[in-house]
Structure 1
Amino acid sequence: MKLVVQVKLMPTPDQASLLEATLRACNRAADHASRVAFERGLKDRNGLQREVYSDVKVTFGLSAQPAVRVVKKVVDAYATLRANLMAGNFGAPTSKRYRKATSSPVTFQPEAAQPFDDRCLSWQMDARTVSIWTVGGRLKNLRFVGAVDQLKTLAEHRKGESDLVRRGGKWFLIATCEIPTPEVFEPVDFIGVDRGVVNLATTSGGINYQGRRLDRYRRWQACKRAELQKKNTRSARRRLARRSRKEQRHACHVNHRISKEIVSVAQRTGCGIAVEALGGIRERVRLRRDQRGTLSSWPFHQLGQHLAYKSELAGVPFLEVDAAFTSQRCPRCGHTERANRPDRDHFCCRWCGLAGPSDVVAGVNVRNRARSAWVFVTMPVPPPA
């Protein structure tokens, strides 16, 4: 499986100025190639490269391989745009957003990320330095730092391109790593995980990961966001963007911590992990106005993604099961009724009297469905007649 590793560069002032000039030159060249691709309808890499290769090298001062990377960057941007248009992410063809996306060429920010391959960038892992091409020549002995486990993964499994990124005045390299996927073991049981708003995750074993601190943090951020929106100045808009990124990183960190703990427990006990398939939940439910912001910022999908890739990395079986009536069904007698859940926190079966926390009951139902589903997943395929 593919993972990315991010390391922080520690350039001197002179090195930083060269990196900035390189990013700006590459993105100016990408803007030029994008205009040519849009005006002449070029979608393939070879056709665009024939048209703009010489101009990119001469006009913008790029070497041969960086010019090739710029062309590929533009082609990939248009491929992503086409995929989003086909998926309906820009609305119907008659919508304003769709027409805006297709009426002008793709543009690149002056300091947008730039990919480098092994001809433009080389790693010296022992010295913790990189050698990278810039518009001012080859830049050597550029130091980088990172977490120990990340650096180990980088040294053992790096493969493919690395992206040069500037974020908040700091420089980073994001490298792609191809990690061999371990074989999935046969689980002795499953851990059912119920995802929610008040409780971010509750396992069938009764472990509860509450979301109160995250909810308080987001309410505090919403208040600060409202104050800045009232000012409506350039400085306020910049601060709003920084706050938004900070809030996203905080929620991502919480999801990483929860998923890492659940996967480690599953790996240690020989269990698989099962979650509810919650795709399309925003379209299926109708909410009051005061609930819309909470649900829209609910990071359940990201938590599911973290659980999925961490399970694959650890060789832990991972399943998504049907989410219908998991919080209303009694796991002991099977009686399903809305009245079984008199309020958000409690479950009490109207038939057999089983009672308990509603999220734990939902996690048990998810676990039971995973047990049944695993039989069909691992069922041998009969030979063709």
Structure 2
Amino acid sequence: MKTVVQVKLMPDAAQEAALSATLRTVNELACWVSEVAFVHGVPREYALRKHTYTHLKAEGLGAQAAQHVIKKVRDSYTTLHANIRAGNLGEPGSKRRRKAESKPIVFRPEAAQPYDDRCLSWQYDQQTVSIWTTAGRVRNVPFAGWADALKTLREYRRGESDLVERDGAFYLVATCEVPEAQTYGPDGFVGVDLGIANIATASSGYRAAGRGLNRYRRRQLALRAKLQRKRSKSAKRRLKARARKERRHATNQNHIIAKRIVAEAERTSNGIALEELRGIRQRARLRKPQRATLHSWAFAQLGRFLEYKARRAGVPLVYVDPAYSSRECAECGHTDRLNRISQAEFACRSCGVVAHADRNASRVLARRGQDAWTAGCESRVPAIP
């Protein structure tokens, strides 16, 4: 299983200047390669190399760096075309799609640059790296990271690493091939109901309340509106910084929630049944004041975190259809719109059971997960002699 580990570089003044100049040079040349690709109808990587490789070498890039710049540009166009085919940029003729198709891709001056083992070498014992720059090879650049990340980096790093600059600091994002644990046969399933009032409610009893995160987002929304009214360069700079800070905060919360749910499922030898919510933003019909809340709901990220943490721990995970799970009784199976009294209250019209609405839905999802797992397993009935 592929995962990434991020470490922070701590260069001195001369090393920092070399790294900064390198990123700006390679991204400026990447913009030029992108223009060439756009003019020639975005040819394949080999054909694009014939149009651009000689110029990149003449501009001072090494052979590997030039190859990576070309590959980065070609991969960017591949991603763009995949998003267009998937409809992520709107219907044909829409303003957003026309804008994306009418001009070359542009790379930010501090955009990530990939490095392979010929351009970057790691010294784990000294916690330093040797890295190629346009000013020559820069050696003994210290890096730091938390203990588990450094252990994963030492044992499982494979393939390329990306040099990234954020807010004047430099980071290396390394790809690691972590072995997956053997998936066990679950004794049962933990249903996970995702929502906004409660970010995640598990049938095991764990509930991650969304009150704090929603309050934080409302405060950030008010601060963004205040900055947007100023329309100054410094306000725009602060807006970008706040957006990154809010994204990091939500990501950290999702990591904590996913870790708790997977650890509980592993401890009890259970699997995880998760709602399949793909396309909910297109299906949901909400009033304008509610749209910001829905679109800032990072349910897909939480699902990805649950999935990869479950794979690392060997915990079975299945996606189930969430249709009418909020109206179905976990005790008797009776489904009725009137069962859901309010956001938090559930009372079955058939058997009379009263429960927290999200907890009831998580139990329904757990049963559906068990059914899905049983249907997908091989039969254990002995063969007829």
What TM-score comes out, normalization by structure 2 length? 0.97
Is this contact kept in 1: 2:330–2:363, CA < 8 A? yes
User: Which residue pairs with 1:222 in the alignment?
Assistant: 221
Indicate yes or no: 2:152 matched with 1:143. Answer: no
Distance (Å, rounded) in 1 between the aligned partners of 2:65 and 2:331:
63
* Secondary structure, counterpart of 2:362 in structure 1: helix
Q: Deviations along 1:140-170, whole A, 9 cap, x unmatched?
A: 0000000100011011111111000000111
How much does 1:7 deviate? 0.2
* Paired position in structure 2 for 1:171: 170
Task: Give the Cα separation in 2 of the matches to 1:289 and 1:85.
Answer: 27
For 1:174-253, list aligned pairs within 5 A.
174-253=173-252
Tell me the distance in 1 between the aligned counterparts of 2:200 and 2:23: 41
Q: In structure 2, how many angstroms separate the alpha carbons of the residues matched to 1:338 and 1:222? A: 33
Deviations 1:169-194 (A, max 9, x none): 11000000111112211001111111
CA distance in 2 between partners of 1:31 and 1:350 (Å): 63
1:206 Cα deviation from its structure 2 partner: 2.3
- Confirm or deny that 1:297 pairs with 2:262: no
Work out the CA distance in 2 between the residues paired with 1:130 and 1:214: 38
1: CA distance between counterparts of 2:29 and 2:112? 13
Does the 8 A contact of 1:266 with 1:272 survive in 2? yes
Aligned residues: 380
**1:163·1:173 contact (CA, 8 Å) conserved in 2?**
yes
Separation of aligned partners in 1, 2:99 and 2:289: 31
For residue 247 of structure 2, give the secondary structure of its aligned residue in structure 1: helix
Moved more, 142-151 or 105-114: 105-114
* Equivalent residues in 2 for 1:12-161, closer than 5 Å: 12-58=12-58, 60-161=59-160
> CA–CA distance in 1 between the matches of 2:297 and 2:36?
41
* 1:329 equivalenced with 2:328 (yes/no): yes
- 1:285 and 1:92 map into 2 onto residues whose CA distance is 19
Q: Give the gaps of 5 or more residues in structure 2.
A: 381-385
- Give deviations 1:96-149, integer Å, cap 9, x for gaps: 222221222111111111001000000000110000011111100000000100
1:150 maps to a residue whose letter is A
* Aligned mates of 2:42, 2:167 — CA distance in 1: 34
Check the 8 A contact 2:42/2:77 in 1, yes or no.
Answer: no
- SS, match of residue 75 in structure 2: helix
Task: Compare 163-172 and 91-100 and name the one that shifted more.
Answer: 91-100
Residues 284-338 of structure 1: per-residue CA shift (max 9 Å, x gap): 2221222111111112221111111110111100011110111111112111111
Equivalent AA in structure 1 for residue 9 of structure 2:
L
2:106 and 2:287 mapped to 1: Cα distance? 38
Asked if the contact 1:185–1:315 (Cα under 8 Å) also holds between the matched residues in 2, the reply is yes
CA deviation digits over 1:5-62, x for unaligned, max 9? Answer: 000000001100000111111112111211111112242111111121110011x211
Deviates more, 1:93-102 or 1:155-164: 93-102
Could you tell me which amino acid in structure 1 is paired with residue 343 of structure 2?
R
CA displacement, residues 190-236 of structure 1 (integer Å, 9 cap, x when unaligned): 11111111111111122211011101111111111111011011110
Q: What's the offset of the Cα at 1:342?
A: 1.0
Q: 2-side partners of 1:99 and 1:133: how far apart?
A: 38
Distance 1:83 1:283 in 2: 19
Query: Per-residue deviation at 1:341?
Result: 1.3
Corresponding residue SS for 2:184: coil
Q: Where does structure 1 lack aligned partners over 5 or more consecutive residues? A: none
Given that 1:43 and 1:78 are in contact with CA atoms closer than 8 Å, whether structure 2 keeps it comes out as no
* Distance in 2 between residues matched to 1:333 and 1:40, nearest whole Å: 64
SS for the counterpart of 2:91 is coil
Query: Is this contact kept in 2: 1:130–1:143, CA < 8 A?
Result: yes
Cα distance in 2 for residues equivalent to 1:149 and 1:118? 22
Alignment of 1:240-279 (within 5 A): 240-279=239-278
In structure 2, C-alpha distance between the alignment counterparts of 1:71 and 1:380, rounded to whole Å: 51
Opposite residue 171 of structure 1, the aligned amino acid is F
Report the TM-score, using the length of structure 1 for normalisation.
0.97
